[in-house]
Amino acid sequence: MWNRDSKVRIEKDNNRTRRNKAWQLSIIAFSAIILLIALYTFNVRRSGYTVRREFLLDTYVTIAVNGKGSNADKLIDIGFSEIKRIDEKFNPLNEKSILYKINHAAGKWVKIDKETHDLIERSLYYSNISNDAFDITLGRLIGLWGFYSLSSTPTSIPSKDDISKCIASYGADKIELEKDRIKLRSNCALDLGGIAKGYAVDMAVLRMKENAPDITGYVDAGGDIRIMGKKYGTLPWSVGIRDPRSEDKSIDVVYLKGGSIATSGDYERYFFYKGKRYCHIFDPKTGFPATKAISATVISKNLVDADALATTVFVLGPIKGIQLLNQLGVDGMIIDKDKKIYKTKGFEYYEKRR
């Protein structure tokens, strides 16, 4: 009895010893993992980010990538050369660009590559879902208002007559788009300024990730930002949304661990005439600068979509704009001319540091 009992007891003791060993091993393994994470974070933090800024896409573009030295420099070179390529390709003022060729074809077909086709097709999608608030055929109107002048800002506004005539030149129905060619009605001109910045940044991020899949950092093109992974591999990036009436103040802060954020504001390019502000984003219905909003911010996975949508909802204004974003399941914030703030249902998720 006793022996059997004792055997049982010994067996029990063996089990306890085995369990204790397993616990000890798990604790050691757990501590090792914590130590590795701490070391990684310490290393990443110590090496920090390499940051470079260049003037491209009509604005200052900043690229930040983790690490220092030639590797980081090489990645930034890759990012900037991709942005440069797209900037040159879709700049309507660059005589060598495909956009210049399309705009000066006098109603004839122009051969285009897949990239051009796809970007125009995506733009037409945003025209379609916004009842033409987003419109890439406003080239003549933008020129008429003087926003293509590189050296000066406009000092007066065009006549109502000229604006009415110009309205007849644009509209999505003036484009015939096929897989490898495009034709515009003769006095129509394309302008991709509302979407190309986002596309260029997305492509730069793609190229950098091809070369460094674990890259973290961001690309910021004048406030339109694409995040590449968490800061130091663990933290969210905090992004300030500019107060549209105060250059150095933020009106809100959002926290992003990935994805993109774009803001369209009437403070980016504008002029005053007889005490009234006229900005660079137009309401295609009136031929005048849009006035229902003074700032519109959109958060989405790709910057090309956030960029196009920010311009779109800027034109639509807060009521229709928020409605459209909710319909699409995209989050955003729109500020009207009285500085009243409107947000989508899910926007507050990004306002909390997680």
Residues that bind Mg ion (CB under 5 A): 194, 307, 310-311
The CB-nearest residue to ligand AMP is: 193
Residue 240 Cα distances to 155, 176, 263, 306, 351, angstroms? 32, 40, 11, 16, 10
**Given the complex with ligand AMP, which of 66 and 260 has the nearer CB atom?**
260
DSSP 324-341: HHHHHT-EEEEE-TT--E
Beta strands in 35-180 (DSSP E): 49-56, 59-66, 110-111, 175-178
**Given the complex with Mg ion, which of 123 and 311 has the nearer CB atom?**
311
**Given the complex with ligand AMP, which of 284 and 318 has the nearer CB atom?**
284
Which of ligand AMP, Mg ion, none interacts with 134 (beta carbon under 5 to 8 A by kind)?
A: ligand AMP
Where does this chain bind ligand AMP (CB under 6 A)? Answer: 134-136, 138, 142, 191, 193-194, 264, 268, 280-282, 284, 307, 310-311, 314-315
CB of 99 to ligand AMP, least distance (A): 11
CB of 336 to Mg ion, least distance (A): 18
Torsional sign, CA 133, 298, 336, 153: negative
CB of 194 to Mg ion, least distance (A): 4
Identify the DSSP state of 172. G
In this structure, the strands spanning 276-279 and 282-283 are: unpaired
**Given the complex with Mg ion, which of 220 and 307 has the nearer CB atom?**
307
**Given the complex with ligand AMP, which of 65 and 298 has the nearer CB atom?**
298
Q: Is 132 left (phi over 0), alpha (psi -120 to 50) or beta?
A: left
Asked if 212 and 75 count as a contact pair (C-beta separation under 8 A), the reply is yes
CB of 93 to ligand AMP, least distance (A): 11
**Given the complex with ligand AMP, which of 142 and 333 has the nearer CB atom?**
142
**Given the complex with ligand AMP, which of 80 and 134 has the nearer CB atom?**
134
- Of 229, 203, 212, the closest CA to residue 70 belongs to 212
Angle 70-73-78 from CA coordinates, rounded to 5°: 125
CB of 148 to ligand AMP, least distance (A): 9
**Given the complex with ligand AMP, which of 79 and 198 has the nearer CB atom?**
198
- Of 125, 118, 109, the closest CA to residue 86 belongs to 118
- Of 148, 146, 137, the closest CA to residue 93 belongs to 148
Identify the DSSP state of 219. E
The CB-nearest residue to Mg ion is: 311
Which of ligand AMP, Mg ion, none interacts with 317 (beta carbon under 5 to 8 A by kind)?
A: none
CB of 99 to Mg ion, least distance (A): 16
Q: From the CB of residue 172, how many other CB atoms can be counted at a distance below 10 Å? A: 16
**Given the complex with ligand AMP, which of 72 and 142 has the nearer CB atom?**
142
Which of ligand AMP, Mg ion, none interacts with 136 (beta carbon under 5 to 8 A by kind)?
A: ligand AMP
- Of 340, 307, 309, 304, the closest CA to residue 326 belongs to 309
CB of 127 to Mg ion, least distance (A): 13
CB of 135 to ligand AMP, least distance (A): 5
In this structure, the strands spanning 288-289 and 276-279 are: unpaired
Task: Measure the CA–CA gap between 230 and 227, rounded to whole angstroms.
Answer: 8
Residue 30 Cα distances to 21, 34, 193, angstroms? 14, 6, 51
CB of 73 to ligand AMP, least distance (A): 29
